Amino acid sequence: MLVVMKHNASEEDISGVVGTIKEMGYDARPIPGGPRTAVGLVGNDGRADAGRLQGLSGVLEVIPVTQAYKQVSREWREEDTLVTLPNGTVIGGRDLVMMAGPCAVEGERQIIEVAHVVREMGATILRGGAFKPRTSPYSFQGLGLDGLRFLARAREESGMVVVTEALDPDGVDLVAEYADIIQIGARNMQNYPLLRRAGRSGKPVLLKRGMAATIEEWLLAAEYLLAEGNHDVILCERGVRSFAKHTRNLLDLAAIPVVRSLSHLPIIVDPSHGTGLRSKVIPMGRAAVAAGADGLMIEVHLDPPHAMSDGAQSLYPEQFGELMDQIRVIAKAIGRDVTAPLEAVSPV
Amino acid sequence: MLVVMKHNASEEDISGVVGTIKEMGYDARPIPGGPRTAVGLVGNDGRADAGRLQGLSGVLEVIPVTQAYKQVSREWREEDTLVTLPNGTVIGGRDLVMMAGPCAVEGERQIIEVAHVVREMGATILRGGAFKPRTSPYSFQGLGLDGLRFLARAREESGMVVVTEALDPDGVDLVAEYADIIQIGARNMQNYPLLRRAGRSGKPVLLKRGMAATIEEWLLAAEYLLAEGNHDVILCERGVRSFAKHTRNLLDLAAIPVVRSLSHLPIIVDPSHGTGLRSKVIPMGRAAVAAGADGLMIEVHLDPPHAMSDGAQSLYPEQFGELMDQIRVIAKAIGRDVTAPLEAVSPV
Amino acid sequence: MLVVMKHNASEEDISGVVGTIKEMGYDARPIPGGPRTAVGLVGNDGRADAGRLQGLSGVLEVIPVTQAYKQVSREWREEDTLVTLPNGTVIGGRDLVMMAGPCAVEGERQIIEVAHVVREMGATILRGGAFKPRTSPYSFQGLGLDGLRFLARAREESGMVVVTEALDPDGVDLVAEYADIIQIGARNMQNYPLLRRAGRSGKPVLLKRGMAATIEEWLLAAEYLLAEGNHDVILCERGVRSFAKHTRNLLDLAAIPVVRSLSHLPIIVDPSHGTGLRSKVIPMGRAAVAAGADGLMIEVHLDPPHAMSDGAQSLYPEQFGELMDQIRVIAKAIGRDVTAPLEAVSPV
Amino acid sequence: MLVVMKHNASEEDISGVVGTIKEMGYDARPIPGGPRTAVGLVGNDGRADAGRLQGLSGVLEVIPVTQAYKQVSREWREEDTLVTLPNGTVIGGRDLVMMAGPCAVEGERQIIEVAHVVREMGATILRGGAFKPRTSPYSFQGLGLDGLRFLARAREESGMVVVTEALDPDGVDLVAEYADIIQIGARNMQNYPLLRRAGRSGKPVLLKRGMAATIEEWLLAAEYLLAEGNHDVILCERGVRSFAKHTRNLLDLAAIPVVRSLSHLPIIVDPSHGTGLRSKVIPMGRAAVAAGADGLMIEVHLDPPHAMSDGAQSLYPEQFGELMDQIRVIAKAIGRDVTAPLEAVSPV
């Protein structure tokens, strides 16, 4: 932490800052410069509170230097984290993983059919919401427990593993019973009781980036999971808020190489929510792979015009197939591959 | 809802849109124009899903016309909502209300002392966090249940009423036992299970605006509370995310007159979080009153440099007194007053 | 400038940074810390280029410490700058100044009439665009030279001084002939040839904040003016771009106290462009005064529904009068006043 | 244009809107709906001013339906615009074009050498700034006319064509004498006198997106060029302002497919300014190609640590070669190719 003093800060001001830093339990190192002095706070363990220094007399600004996150950082762990799932899919390795399925589980038959379709095209992880966070209280809120049961059934029939969202701490336990990956949605990225419970769930967690979250805040949210002992965390970029409204969100693909350099956690991209427009999902899915994503999460619906939510951003199955074909070529350009398709599950 | 067709949309495309609208249960009214045709969806009850229309052939864009919120709107209820609290304070009437206190409850004596100080200066509602949502898992997370007990004690001794935050559904019940107003923080504005529980708590709710929430999303979050039967909702503007970093958040004071015209709910402003800088709290507090806010929420600490959180944005008591003096003058300019100070509680 | 090294930066990396800093002509001071080392660049005259250090091996990030602006800063000049105009109006002193008039000059009679009306209500500076920067090439672009002539005529008749916008370097010379203050619009805040010419014009300059400009970029744009020898610079906050669309721009009133602490230049606010909505201009005008602005710039039109541009954000004259009455009270709350109305000019 | 009336708008309010629309010279079509009425403005030629309607009694909001741009739209011209340059390079066709070179021209030898290097790797267009718009007046501002001469010399020696920026109307004429493409920078996207002059220059124009420009504003800026008769316009996405600061700007790659569907103009991407960080240029360059860009503009410097500007975002030549190799593979995935390298120019 660096405390930058005002041009006209007095010796007394500087002593005040040095004294406060010592009182906080750290070392202070004044750095006299040309036009102004700065005081370094040395030995910061990530808990030093800038607030105690910001308001002091003569202080211009306090600049954080040490990152507040620890276990998620590449400095803590150099090698990439690999998340291995029950059906053998590995997230974060050389091969890209594909998660696909409808926005919401709408019925048993619907989810089983779509599972078969996307599995054949190369997806190994089935997505589908049972609990839907909706902006309006009057919108369809998901099938709840029934949705979870249908997902479990689709897994059994297709051999895919399942990712689905939990909305509150008790929901985490429920989702953990039925699913293979617990999703934390963008709106809940800083819902700390939810993160804590997911951190103790024993299941991998997919953590979506919040709509206005910086990379540091996102990594700190992941830190909540690791701090509870859960190291199987997958980050998911899904677009951020912006002044521009030509897409539903502004997909921040540069987050991929940035996260890669700061953290060992795998990162995937959701171009469906990232654009909100079916016709933009394929180009942005390709772009995400080219930028180095470890996988994609894609909304696919057998009949998008009749989807109960997010129909406008759901791909038709043949579009999903087209995307798969294209990313297989693109992955090669950077020495990667797409996970091999699962074999069909033989009926017992 | 208005479906704008592409320039070159065919008759078939238009029929497709009309058919889908009818299938959704609404009336369709094509509006041929000069360069392009639009199709109006008539009879929207707020549940019509734009998604079903957006991806159809020939559609350029779908423009929502009906607002999705209902009970929070001025069209639903014309007169201002007044929230009356146990000590007689009324939020949303002619008089401005002042909420003040530390960011976090740090101890019994601390919260009681600061309650006496701010009450004497004119605050009638005591703020103080017992459960603190913190960006880092390694930061101070609040005193929890002890914090609630200390707040209750301070209320008893000072005659003020208490507002404090709940972080999860179970926490709502706990907070409701001890506090007079349940605060939903900015990070949780779209935490729907939390909103639902608060909507059933029987206590007034202070709903902070999310960091990247539009006015419509904010009002829809409030709609979750009203939809559960709770009409005592107070909105709180506290700044939004922006590219500019000279303040912690960008305080959006224009939200005040905008919310007033759209909704009957009272709206207050938190310039402490809105700026994050002690020296900017007073001017922005004044500005909020001038813009028409129904009250302010201000962080005040007896010893800001030693505050356990948010010290840099906490006012010294004498600064709070200065702010009170100034807003009493400003309120007059728009025909309002500041709530009269509470009398001291006589010890039993 | 502080160069923060990666956790695992080698001794060689650190030497590389130290060597580059010396090569750049500055002193380097390594600051070993707990988890990581930083290297301070000492003696920065504001020209040190972070770019040369950012890409070096082992560098995590480069943090600017010295501000790049000089002459605009309060560290350069402690006392407030006062801009004195030919009719005696002083901007930046104890009294607030009021600039008012139509968005665009639409005709000689129109501008003269509105000048009389707003002068009687207390405005001393007449605004009105002769050259209008319009988003679409097909919109009304202003009356040009005729507009300037009509403004000059209105000044003569009313005793007010005139502020109007210049769009290109040659336009600066033209505007300087007819007007008392040259306005640089938001779109041109970083139009450097325009700034340079305005800096040599001999006339005060009103510099609007760019739509996505940080405070530092805005002050650096002003620095271009001062660097050319023009010290009569007035800053004007007019709202910035944001994800929220309930107002045309997001008026950033906290910029007022922030600019005040960083710079000696006066700052006024334009709530007409800042909100884009007539009904929000009055509350935000009041708020700007409460936040400490040195004045307001308000669009007033005698017949807003027939205005040739920006009618939706233009006040009716009686609304302007109401605003004047309210801010006279608010100014008192912070020990200020509104400039006394000009006396009528007696016809020769 | 659609005028949405308030819930409680009276018959008189609706008549007022209808009357105003007719007065403006258009047809009005009231559309009674369930909860509220809307009035369609029919026959909009792109000049109808929403401002005249927004402030009328009973009006809730005015929604633009017709886009304000014309000649740039795909509805105006269905086939892709191809821009053909003197050395045979075609922008906007099947093959991707590569623009490369230093941020600034620093000397004759420097620019000639780098031209040879990037030409051999496959670039056919040489970039390099002679006039540099710099945030601070104290930063290096470019070599000016000498820079242009050196660029012309490099063109002659390498066979590449040259793109370089003009900062003001007179500069356009000067740049047009020496360069093959006139660049309009992000800060000047809405500098209309500059756009008009470039529109009359007879040379192709590269129009960078402004830092806070919506797609519509960007296309309208291009419309200024086409309205002056210049149809050889290339759009360049280079990142926008955002709350997130992990990259210099937030590269908005979804703008590529969005622009493609709205306009016939070619669009390229500048990942150097888009990220500001050398290590992120390659992944984002790949992603831009995968998203469908017609080409890239890349900063390459033979000695980035000693670059006079933007060294931190300049690639080393071998990195540029690596990027070229990768995008040749990626282009195949979408049925495209990279322009064949130019043959060396034989010395006369």
Q: What is the pLDDT of residues B185-236, one digit of tens each?
A: 999 999 999 999 999 999 999 999 999 999 999 999 999 999 999 999 999 9
Question: What is the model's pLDDT at position D347?
Answer: 54
Q: Inter-chain contact B139–A49, Cβ cutoff 8 Å?
A: yes
Are A142 and A32 members of one domain? Answer: no
Are C329 and C224 members of one domain? Answer: yes
pLDDT-derived band at D194, boundaries 50, 70, 90: very high
**In terms of Cα–Cα distance, which of C305, C245, C308, C254 is closest to C276?**
C245
Structural domain contains residue B255:
yes
Across the range D178-183, mean pLDDT stands at 98
Chain B contacts of D35, Cβ < 8 Å? 44, 66, 75
Are B56 and B182 members of one domain? Answer: no
Q: Inter-chain contact D287–A283, Cβ cutoff 8 Å?
A: no
**Helix, strand, coil percent values for chain A (each to nearest 5):** 35, 20, 45
How, if at all, do strands D2-5 and D27-32 pair? unpaired
Are A222 and A283 members of one domain? Answer: yes
Question: What is the model's pLDDT at position C138?
Answer: 86
**In terms of Cα–Cα distance, which of C221, C237, C239, C185 is closest to C69?**
C221
How, if at all, do strands B181-184 and C37-42 pair? unpaired
Question: What is the model's pLDDT at position C46?
Answer: 67
pLDDT of residue D53 exceeding 90, the answer is no
Are D38 and D92 members of one domain? Answer: no
Are C48 and C96 members of one domain? Answer: no
Select the more confidently predicted residue: A49 or B298: B298
In angstroms, the separation between the Cα of residue B57 and the nearest Cα of chain D is 14
Across the range B30-47, mean pLDDT stands at 77
Q: Tell whether D63 is within 8 A of chain A (Cβ).
A: no
The conformation of residue D61, written as its DSSP 8-state character, comes to E
Residues 305-344, chain A, touching B (beta carbon < 8 A): 305-307, 309-313
Structural domain contains residue D343:
no
Question: What is the model's pLDDT at position C325?
Answer: 97
**In terms of Cα–Cα distance, which of D87, C205, D302, A316 is closest to B55?**
A316
Q: Tell whether C211 is within 8 A of chain B (Cβ).
A: no
- Backbone φ, ψ for residue B117 (5° rounding): -65, -50
Structural domain contains residue B348:
no
Question: What is the model's pLDDT at position B46?
Answer: 67
Q: Inter-chain contact C252–B242, Cβ cutoff 8 Å?
A: yes
Q: Inter-chain contact C289–B290, Cβ cutoff 8 Å?
A: yes
Are D258 and D154 members of one domain? Answer: yes
Q: Tell whether B236 is within 8 A of chain A (Cβ).
A: no
Question: What is the model's pLDDT at position B347?
Answer: 54
Are D59 and D94 members of one domain? Answer: no
Domain range for A30 is 2-63
Rounded-to-integer distance, Cα A273 and Cα A312, Å? 10
Average pLDDT over all residues of chain A: 93
The number of folded domains in chain D is 2
Structural domain contains residue C343:
no
pLDDT 10s digits, B28-38: 888 776 667 88
Q: Inter-chain contact B330–C330, Cβ cutoff 8 Å?
A: yes
User: What does the angle CA A169 – CA A170 – CA A175 come to, to the nearest 5 degrees?
Assistant: 95
| D39, D65, D69, D242: best to mutate for the B interface, most B CBs within 10 A | D65
What is the full DSSP assignment across A266-296? -EEE-HHHHH--HHHHHHHHHHHHHHT-SEE
**In terms of Cα–Cα distance, which of A127, A131, A126 is closest to A145?**
A131
Are B41 and B183 members of one domain? Answer: no
Q: Inter-chain contact C286–B240, Cβ cutoff 8 Å?
A: no
Rounded-to-integer distance, Cα D47 and Cα D27, Å? 14
Which subunits have 3 or more CB–CB pairs within 8 Å of chain D?
A, B, C
Rounded-to-integer distance, Cα A244 and Cα A235, Å? 24
Structural domain contains residue C68:
no
pLDDT of residue D348 exceeding 60, the answer is no
Question: What is the model's pLDDT at position D308?
Answer: 86
Nearest neighbour of D34 by CB, restricted to B2, B38, B42: B42
What are the C-alpha distances in Å from C34 to residues A28, B142, B180, C39? 12, 28, 46, 14
pLDDT-derived band at A54, boundaries 50, 70, 90: confident
pLDDT of residue A347 exceeding 70, the answer is no
Question: What is the model's pLDDT at position D65?
Answer: 73
Rounded-to-integer distance, Cα B149 and Cα A257, Å? 48
**In terms of Cα–Cα distance, which of D311, D298, D340 is closest to D126?**
D298
Nearest neighbour of B243 by CB, restricted to D33, D66, D242: D242
Structural domain contains residue C54:
yes
**In terms of Cα–Cα distance, which of C186, C271, A242 is closest to B253?**
C271
Structural domain contains residue B281:
yes
Is residue C163 within 8 A of residue C151, CB to CB? The reply is no
In angstroms, the separation between the Cα of residue C239 and the nearest Cα of chain B is 10
Q: Residue C245: give its domain's CATH number.
A: 3.20.20.70
Are C92 and C22 members of one domain? Answer: no
Across the range B295-306, mean pLDDT stands at 94
Q: Tell whether A245 is within 8 A of chain C (Cβ).
A: yes
Q: A313 Cβ partners below 8 Å, 6+ apart? A: A103, A248, A272, A273, A275, A276, A277, A278, A281, A299, B51
Select the more confidently predicted residue: D46 or A250: A250
Are D175 and D214 members of one domain? Answer: yes
Looking at A30-34, A78-82, A128-132, C35-39, which range is the least confident one? A30-34
Structural domain contains residue D19:
yes
pLDDT-derived band at B19, boundaries 50, 70, 90: very high
Average pLDDT over all residues of chain D: 93
pLDDT of residue B179 exceeding 90, the answer is yes
Q: Inter-chain contact B247–C240, Cβ cutoff 8 Å?
A: no
Nearest neighbour of B224 by CB, restricted to A20, A137, A192: A137
What's the start-to-end Cα distance of chain B, in Å?
62
Q: C130 Cβ partners below 8 Å, 6+ apart? A: C104, C105, C142, C143, C144, C145, C146, C147, C148, C150, C151, C164, C165, C175
Question: pTM above 0.90?
Answer: yes
Q: Tell whether B141 is within 8 A of chain D (Cβ).
A: no
Are D97 and D140 members of one domain? Answer: yes
Question: What is the model's pLDDT at position D117?
Answer: 97
pLDDT-derived band at B346, boundaries 50, 70, 90: low
Residues 71-130, chain A, touching B (beta carbon < 8 A): none
Q: Inter-chain contact A312–B193, Cβ cutoff 8 Å?
A: no
Per-residue burial over B39-59, b = 16 or more CB atoms within 10 Å of its CB, e = otherwise = bbbbbbebebbebbbbbbebb
Q: Tell whether C210 is within 8 A of chain A (Cβ).
A: no
Across the range A169-191, mean pLDDT stands at 97
Question: What is the model's pLDDT at position D318?
Answer: 97
Nearest neighbour of B326 by CB, restricted to C279, C286, C334: C334
Q: Residue C58: give its domain's CATH number.
A: 3.30.70.1140
Q: Tell whether D219 is within 8 A of chain A (Cβ).
A: no
**In terms of Cα–Cα distance, which of B319, B312, B102 is closest to A53?**
B312
- Backbone φ, ψ for residue B208 (5° rounding): -75, 150
Q: Tell whether D22 is within 8 A of chain B (Cβ).
A: no
Question: What is the model's pLDDT at position D42?
Answer: 81
| A5, A27, A29, A250: best to mutate for the C interface, most C CBs within 10 A | A29
Chain B contacts of A272, Cβ < 8 Å? none
Mark the ranges of chain C whose per-residue pLDDT is less than 70: 33-35, 46, 346-348
Portion of chain D with pLDDT greater than 90, in percent: 76
Select the more confidently predicted residue: D48 or A247: A247
Q: Inter-chain contact C51–D312, Cβ cutoff 8 Å?
A: yes
How, if at all, do strands D267-269 and D233-237 pair? parallel
Rounded-to-integer distance, Cα B202 and Cα D155, Å? 77
pLDDT of residue A36 exceeding 60, the answer is yes
